[in-house]
Amino acid sequence: MARSRLPLSAFALAIVLLLLVGAGTAVAADMGPKPSLTLLVEGERSANDYFLDLLVPQDAENIRMDQTSDYLKDHPEFQSEPIVSYVAPDGRVGYVCHGWMTWGELVGTVRGDGSFEHAYGYLFVPRTFAVVVQDRATGALTVSNTVTTVQFDALVAYDARTGILAVLQNTMSFWWWLKLLVRIFLTTLIECLLVLPFRFPRRRWLPIPVNLATQGLLNFAVLVALPGLFMAHYVLWFAVFEVLVFVLEFLAYFFWMGERRFRKPFLYALAANAVTLAVGLWWLS
């Protein structure tokens, strides 16, 4: 019976990975929460009547003035639009038009209430910005006032009739909490499957409370340390947090799972964290 545990656990882990691939939603295990920005546009007749971009400093970490942005590589038909070449008097440029490692669109999507939505995310999300809007028929450009968001999941609204940009309240929405809980659940599930082939003498259920605790602390630490802009040193911060999580999990397994030798709890903690981190990085690739 004992011989079947390793193949069974490996098969179960493969099933989990297949479910992740087929789920169709960007859920990344063990990757921590990520800030986002949602911009609502009111007063426009159609999403095809305008282009909209955020205005950010040229020295922002995601801006590459000497390269074609990821968005324009996918939409070369927009290259000649005035909004792409626009540079504000203070030197700010378009976040989507000149950014890399970003999610965003010049064209909005229609919402049920008749407004239009622009969503921004991935590795860089600006906190202080204005918007520049181009009338697609005439090419005329309008620049809004500048706002600063303090919410982790920020929500702002632009009124095309007045040209005013305003910050709305949307801190940690229901969907943010739901995605966070799913990430923690997937991480715990994967690590519970990985513990099977190690055959600890007792308390093989311990990864459940340990992961709930460490993943909760990890997400809270990332949230406190990086409340807004996803800067390049996020990787360093996250590496530090991951090492701390590894140490805490190793100590818990070493002292409470009946295994007094260093090797087995060390290898399990290392494997569990490496697999969940790899799954998260693979999902975002």
What per-residue confidence (pLDDT) applies to 282?
A: 62
Question: Of 144 and 167, which is predicted with more confidence?
Answer: 144
Q: What is the largest CA-CA distance in the chain?
A: 75
> Using DSSP, how many helices (H) and how many strands (E) does the chain show?
8, 11
| Residues 124 and 24 reside in one and the same domain | no
Which structural domain range is residue 266 located in? 2-32+176-284
pLDDT at 98 over 90: yes
Question: Of 208 and 19, which is predicted with more confidence?
Answer: 208
Picking from 118, 151, 184, the residue at the C-terminal end of a domain is 151
214: confidence class by pLDDT, cuts 50, 70, 90: confident
DSSP track, 80-115: TSHHHH---TTS-EEHHHHBSSEE--SS-EE-TTS-
Contact present, 152 and 33 (Cβ < 8 Å): yes
- CA distances 42 to 48, 96, 119, Å, are 14, 20, 15
Q: Determine, yes or no, domain membership for 209.
A: yes
Which span out of 10-19, 31-40, 104-113 was modeled with the highest average pLDDT?
104-113
| Residues 107 and 137 reside in one and the same domain | yes
Please compute the mean of the pLDDT values over residues 146-165 and round it to a whole number: 89
What per-residue confidence (pLDDT) applies to 30?
A: 41
| Residues 122 and 210 reside in one and the same domain | no
| Residues 144 and 189 reside in one and the same domain | no
pLDDT at 94 over 90: yes
**Residues, the chain, total?**
285
Please compute the mean of the pLDDT values over residues 55-80 and round it to a whole number: 89
Half-sphere exposure in the Cβ direction for 126 (13 Å, CA) = 28
What per-residue confidence (pLDDT) applies to 174?
A: 65
| Residues 46 and 125 reside in one and the same domain | yes
- Contacts of residue 168, defined as CB under 8 A and 6 or more positions apart, other chains included, come to 40, 155, 156, 157
What per-residue confidence (pLDDT) applies to 150?
A: 74
Q: Determine, yes or no, domain membership for 105.
A: yes
What per-residue confidence (pLDDT) applies to 6?
A: 44
pLDDT digits (tens, 9 = 90+) for 167-188: 885 545 566 677 778 878 888 8
Measured between alpha carbons, how far is 126 from 107 in angstroms, rounded to an integer?
Answer: 19
pLDDT at 135 over 70: yes
Nearest residue to 33 (alpha-carbon basis) of 210, 220, 236: 220
222: confidence class by pLDDT, cuts 50, 70, 90: low
| Residues 111 and 203 reside in one and the same domain | no
Q: Determine, yes or no, domain membership for 75.
A: yes
Type of residue at 196: L
pLDDT digits (tens, 9 = 90+) for 226-282: 544 444 455 667 777 888 888 888 888 888 887 778 788 898 888 888 888 777 666
Q: What stretches of the chain adopt beta strand conformation (E)?
A: 36-42, 50-56, 93-94, 102-103, 109-110, 116-122, 128-135, 141-143, 147-148, 153-159, 164-168
Q: Determine, yes or no, domain membership for 198.
A: yes
| Residues 87 and 109 reside in one and the same domain | yes
pTM above 0.75, yes or no: no
- CA distances 11 to 8, 14, 269, Å, are 5, 5, 20
Contact present, 103 and 119 (Cβ < 8 Å): yes
What per-residue confidence (pLDDT) applies to 197?
A: 86
| Residues 98 and 125 reside in one and the same domain | yes
134 by DSSP, 3-state: which?
strand
| Residues 131 and 189 reside in one and the same domain | no
Measured between alpha carbons, how far is 268 from 250 in angstroms, rounded to an integer?
Answer: 8
